[in-house]
Structure 1
Amino acid sequence: MSNMTSNEPIEPEPSAPLPAASTERQRAFRLVVGIACLLALLAVWQVLTSFVAYTDDAYVTTNFVTIAPQVTGVIVSVNVANDQEVRRGDLLAVIDKVPFQLVVDQRKAAVQEAAVNHKLVNDELKAAQDRLAAATAALQQASGDQKQVALTAADMVSAQQREQVAAREAVDKASQSVVNQDAVAAQAKAALALAEWQLSQTEIHTPADGTVNNLSVSVGDTASAGKALVGIVDAAGWRIVANYKENYIRSLKPGKAAWVWLDTHPWRLYRARIEGVSRGISRGPNQDGILPYVAPTTDWIRLGRRFPVTLKLADPPSDLTLYMGSDASTLIFP
């Protein structure tokens, strides 16, 4: 009988199932390997963070100078534009001077009047002192004559004594008038000085180099004393504030070198140095605001407490422009 080739496919024989004990061993092996990898990563992370202190919770800041006028009045000119760079002493705005000049003129007239009255009371005092001197001399003369003539001269002495008493009272009264007028003159001079100072405050000058920020004042607006009118981003106080976890700060000391990544100028690291480490933070956001508050949560995840560390760029490039409030990242090798 001849051999014939069949076209039917040949099914592979089914493999024998692995024993249950072998499957459990594989699962246990994979679990052990996974735990070992996690422990290794944790160990590497602990070693790495003991040599490198990194945070991306950092930002650029500087002093923000809030300029408020010292007097209330209508603004008659605004001498700067928004985002304009200014130098210390530059004129920012002018308040209407007329009302303040009128007060100065009034105070000058009061000072002049006080000076005239002061001269009058001084003249009265001088005259009263002359009368007292004359009465005293007359009394001394009458007393000497009484010793040489009859006792009837006693009436003359008594009259001279009364005249001396009256002259002394006149001197005391004139002296008190001089004291009072001195006070009036001093008050008039102080009022004039205040009026002149208020007049000088109608010109608002910038107290620091910087950039005008968010200018919203216009001619015709009313400037109120003590109310912020213009804000200046200080050009001299630039720094980086980096919030570091508690376990880092013990090894961060002033003067230690650091590296800064600026989000406004990416792909470059800038050298910096630690200026200081905050010695205290607020535990809650609703306190007086004097202590810094760093939120301990992010995306519903609670983090460890973080403390602000202040960094200062070392020899920044002259063309580097910093922006208050921009993000940064910092790297320090403890």
Structure 2
Amino acid sequence: MANQSTPPSDDDQRHQEDNPQQDKQNDQQDDQEQPERKRPGKKPLIILGVVVAIAIVVALWFWFTTRNIESTDDAFTDADAVTIAPKASGYVTRLLVKDNQRVKKGDLLVVIDPRDNTAQRDQAQAQLGLAVAQLHQAQAALALAKVQYPAQKDQALAQQASAEANLRNAEEDYKRQRGVDPRATSQRNIDAANAQLRSARAQFESAKAQVEVASQIQLQIRQQETNVEARQQQVQQAQAQLNTANLNLSYTEVRAPYDGFVTRRNVQVGTLVQAGTSLFSLVSPDVWITANFKESQLERMKPGDKVNITIDAWPDMKLEGHVDSVQMGSGSRFSAFPAENATGNYVKIVQRVPVKIVIDKGLDPNKLLPLGLSVEPEVTVE
């Protein structure tokens, strides 16, 4: 069979016995032919040492230059932005601004149909005129009362004196009629004298009452003074109504509360707007940076620290600023749905705290900073 081995011959066995000596000789001959190996020198070690030294120096330099710098990429431009809304309702008759237009404080932006408010203003003016006329009438009556009431008192005193004289005369006539011989007079004369006496007494009492009434001069004048005061209050009320009407009329003109840029305009001429309806937003050109630093980065950060700012939109623009303030609360605390850490399983998460950074210099007047641009601030802390 093919897999059966052939037993070695005698010559092969003798050759194998002599083979070890021959192999030894061959090895010695090969050792003499190969060149002697060289040991590695010190140059690679020197190069390795230099590389390690350079790496250490670079690491120390990087640590020394960055150990007082806190940076974050969670930072954006921010500014004051208000929603412009009218306080009057009506149709827009004039629109004086365009999208992204820059306006100054007090500039007229939108005009709402003022006819209803103008009519109310005119009505309030008429009410004020009527109240002023009534006040003048009351003041004239007061001036007349200060002269009239003392004269009426004098007249009442004169009438009292006349009534008293008539009474005395009636008494004397009555006495004469009663004192004469009954044959020298008649009962009719006696009755007439008695009636005249009673009439004179009544007139005298009436005159005394008139004097009593006419003597209350101060009360009568005070009554006219209160009438004047009431008319003055009516004038003030009418003036207040006129001021309100003028104020409502002024609401038909929407003006800029401060310098800024018109954004997100959603109104056109002819639009029917209601009080409180959003017309557009006004963004202030005074831009700052809101940087959300980790809570572990705030240990040495304080207001006044210098900040270097890089803007992603304009990498070549280098800004300088300072830390203005640190918000008293993390972003999650003031979110619409703050975390409820007292319920469920709790997992600790590093919180971020907004830091306001004011830009001091480096702004290009030809490159405005819209809100929400990504920036990278580097705060130098002590």
**CA radius of gyration, larger in:** 2
Q: For 2:376, which of 289, 310, 329 is the aligned residue?
A: 329
Q: Is the 8 A contact 2:75 2:291 kept in 1?
A: yes
Count of aligned residue pairs for this structure pair? 281
Aligned letter for 2:83? T
Structure 1 equivalent of residue 98 of structure 2:
81
Q: For 2:149, which of 132, 141, 159 is the aligned residue?
A: 132
Q: Is residue 305 of structure 1 aligned with residue 351 of structure 2?
A: yes
Give the stretch that moved more between structures: 307-316 or 122-131. 122-131
Structure 2 equivalent of residue 190 of structure 1:
240
Q: For 1:239, which of 275, 282, 288 is the aligned residue?
A: 288
TM-score (norm 1): 0.72
Q: Is the 8 A contact 2:160 2:208 kept in 1?
A: no
1:22-76 deviations in whole A, cap 9, x for unaligned? xxxxxxxxxxxxxxxxxxxxx9999887422110010001000222222222110
Residue 127 (structure 1) shift: 3.0
Change (3 A) 1:70 1:311: same
Give the stretch that moved more between structures: 183-192 or 146-155. 146-155
Q: Is residue 216 of structure 1 aligned with residue 262 of structure 2?
A: no
Q: Is the 8 A contact 1:68 1:228 kept in 2?
A: yes
Q: Structure 1: how far apart are the matches of 2:301 and 2:167?
A: 106
5+ long unaligned stretches in structure 2? 1-10, 12-59, 169-200, 340-346
Structure 2 equivalent of residue 105 of structure 1:
122
* Local SS of the residue matching 2:245: helix
Residue 234 (structure 1) shift: 0.6
Structure 2 equivalent of residue 314 of structure 1:
360
Q: Is the 8 A contact 2:99 2:262 kept in 1?
A: yes
Structure 2 equivalent of residue 256 of structure 1:
305
Any residues of structure 2 matched to 1:287-298 within 5 Å, and which?
none
Any residues of structure 2 matched to 1:10-159 within 5 Å, and which?
50-138=67-155, 155=205, 158-159=208-209
* Local SS of the residue matching 2:262: strand
Change (3 A) 1:280 1:144: farther
TM-score (norm 2): 0.64
Q: Structure 2: how far apart are the matches of 1:97 and 1:70?
A: 12
Q: Is the 8 A contact 2:81 2:284 kept in 1?
A: yes
Change (3 A) 1:225 1:114: same
Q: Is the 8 A contact 1:135 1:163 kept in 2?
A: no
Q: Structure 2: how far apart are the matches of 1:287 and 1:175?
A: 64
Q: Is the 8 A contact 2:73 2:376 kept in 1?
A: yes
Aligned letter for 2:69? V
Q: Structure 2: how far apart are the matches of 1:302 and 1:320?
A: 42
**CA RMSD in angstroms, aligned pairs only:** 3.5
1:197-235 deviations in whole A, cap 9, x for unaligned? 222222111121111101010111123223332211111
Q: Structure 2: how far apart are the matches of 1:163 and 1:87?
A: 70
Residue 239 (structure 1) shift: 0.2
Aligned letter for 1:261? T
1:241-264 deviations in whole A, cap 9, x for unaligned? 111112221311222111112122
Q: Structure 2: how far apart are the matches of 1:317 and 1:244?
A: 26
Aligned letter for 2:99? N
Q: Is residue 178 of structure 1 aligned with residue 195 of structure 2?
A: no
Q: Is residue 275 of structure 1 aligned with residue 292 of structure 2?
A: no
Aligned letter for 1:256? D
Structure 2 equivalent of residue 8 of structure 1:
none
Q: Structure 2: how far apart are the matches of 1:128 and 1:270?
A: 80
Give the stretch that moved more between structures: 179-188 or 302-311. 302-311
Residue 280 (structure 1) shift: 2.4
Q: Structure 1: how far apart are the matches of 2:333 and 2:248?
A: 44
Identity of aligned residues (%): 25
Give the stretch that moved more between structures: 126-135 or 149-158. 149-158
Q: Structure 1: how far apart are the matches of 2:164 and 2:268?
A: 90
Aligned letter for 1:309? V
Structure 1 equivalent of residue 249 of structure 2:
199
Residue 99 (structure 1) shift: 1.4
Q: Is the 8 A contact 2:164 2:204 kept in 1?
A: no
More helix by proportion, 1 or 2? 2
